[in-house]
Amino acid sequence: MQGKRVLLIVGGGIAAFKALELVRALRREGATVVPVLTAGGAHFVTPLSLSALAASPVHTDLWSLDEGGGMGHIELSRSADLVVVCPATADLMAKMTTGIADDLATTLLLATDTPVIAVPAMNVRMWTHAATVANVATLRARGVTVVEPDEGPMACGEFGPGRLPEVTAIVAAIALHFGPKPLVGRHAVVTAGPTHEPIDPVRYLTNRSSGKQGFAIAGALAALGARVTLIAGPVALATPPGCTRVDVETARQMAVAVEAALPADVAVMVAAVADWGVIVSPAKLKKVEGMPRLDLVENPDILATLGRAVDRPGLVIGFAAETEATIANAVGKRATKKADWIVANDVSGDVMGGDANTVHLVTAEGVEDWPTLPKAEVARRLADRIAQELA
């Protein structure tokens, strides 16, 4: 982002206070930030705070820009490399959709020919309302990048999707716009998270996979320009910028989704897919009936199927979570599954679900031992290696 100019429009929502942190983060990355504060946004942050952090005047009034007969709002709308709306309220997005220009922010958005990123934040019912859903779809169809909101508790006391994403995720979406794109034109399929294998209508078998590493890899590939299909098991994680997400529950559903996503240039099978499913009881198993009998059935082997597929991706990468003989088991897995690479990690002890990983990259050339790294850095390194391999 060094030397890039970002026009930041701060909407009127409780999440506006995070715009201050976003300004600081963008400037750390080398960007120049020009703030535009809406009347609603001024109820939550002050022009002085924005101005001090941005080291730039804060624009609030349409008419003051045009004093002296100039066309200041046109010049401002086209002076930036990127326009970021954060938070993007339901009202702001509705006006963007219909072309209403009744203040400085909406006039800039209507007049600009600069790429726009909108970062929504609102009550869960507002986010899921049919009007907002339609508006978001329209904006995306017009080329606006709409960052998926997070899910969680809200200031209003409700819970659900609609929270402003963490600033790190917003910066990642902006970096995705500006960053180098060696994987443009490439399609990547990534699986992530666990699978849930139903036992009866209320119970299931699963594992401790958090999905964090798979989501990080999907985001890192998208940041390099790949078209990413992220097939996710049951996890409560925000969709990484630039990824198309397909949610599944069982191993069989994941296998179908992977097949439907082909053809692809690279497949990164990070998901901890259950090896076995259960013949599902149509009714809840009752304790009074004694110890239940669970009849296990083998699930599809997604990685092995991909490795032998007629429309096999050019690069097939599997993951091996092991509790013993990590490297030996990974070497064997690469051979039996017909994978090109295996990323192996030792999960003995209470390590699953953490934010760091210690992995070994097993290829035809041998084994690379990587140090313990944050999962985001593991993802970045792997994405870079994939870009080099596909170059």
204, pLDDT greater than 80? yes
Say how far apart CA 60 and CA 70 lie, in whole Å: 17
What average pLDDT does this structure show over 210-218? 94
Per DSSP, the three-state class of 72 is helix
Burial 136-162 (b: 16+ CB within 10 A, else e): beebeeeebbbbbbbbeebeeeeebbb
What would you report as the CA-atom Rg of the chain, rounded to the nearest whole angstrom? 24
Angle, CA 266 vertex, CA 260 and CA 267 arms, to 5°: 55
Say how far apart CA 331 and CA 335 lie, in whole Å: 7
- Name residues whose C-beta falls within 8 Å of residue 54's C-beta, 6 or more positions apart in sequence: 8, 23, 27, 33, 34, 35
Say how far apart CA 91 and CA 127 lie, in whole Å: 11
pLDDT of residue 72: 62
What average pLDDT does this structure show over 249-259? 97
Contact 383, 217 (CB under 8 A): yes
pLDDT of residue 362: 97
Contact 12, 44 (CB under 8 A): yes
pLDDT of residue 70: 45
pLDDT of residue 65: 59
pLDDT tens, position by position, 168-190: 889 988 987 887 889 999 999 99
Contact 12, 39 (CB under 8 A): yes
| DSSP secondary structure of 184-232 | TT-EEEEEESB--EESSSS-EE-----SHHHHHHHHHHHHTT-EEEEEE
What is the rounded end-to-end Cα distance, in angstroms, of the chain? 24
Say how far apart CA 147 and CA 152 lie, in whole Å: 16
Give Cα 217 distance to the centre of its chain. Answer: 10
Burial 348-386 (b: 16+ CB within 10 A, else e): eeeebeeeebbbbbbeeeeeeebeeeebbbbbbbbbebb
Angle, CA 318 vertex, CA 313 and CA 323 arms, to 5°: 175
pLDDT tens, position by position, 316-341: 999 999 999 999 999 999 999 999 99
What average pLDDT does this structure show over 289-295? 83
Question: Which sequence positions are flagged as catalytic?
Answer: 156
Nearest to 187 by CA among 253, 231, 237: 231
Say how far apart CA 200 and CA 260 lie, in whole Å: 28
Per DSSP, the three-state class of 260 is helix
- Name residues whose C-beta falls within 8 Å of residue 205's C-beta, 6 or more positions apart in sequence: 196, 197, 199, 274, 276, 277, 278
Contact 313, 293 (CB under 8 A): no
Mean pLDDT check: name the lowest of 117-131, 146-160, 254-268.
146-160
How sure is the predictor about 67, in pLDDT bands with cuts at 50, 70 and 90?
very low
pLDDT of residue 213: 94
Per DSSP, the three-state class of 97 is helix
117, pLDDT greater than 80? yes
State the pTM of this model: 0.68
Mean pLDDT check: name the lowest of 73-77, 164-168, 218-222.
73-77
73, pLDDT greater than 80? no
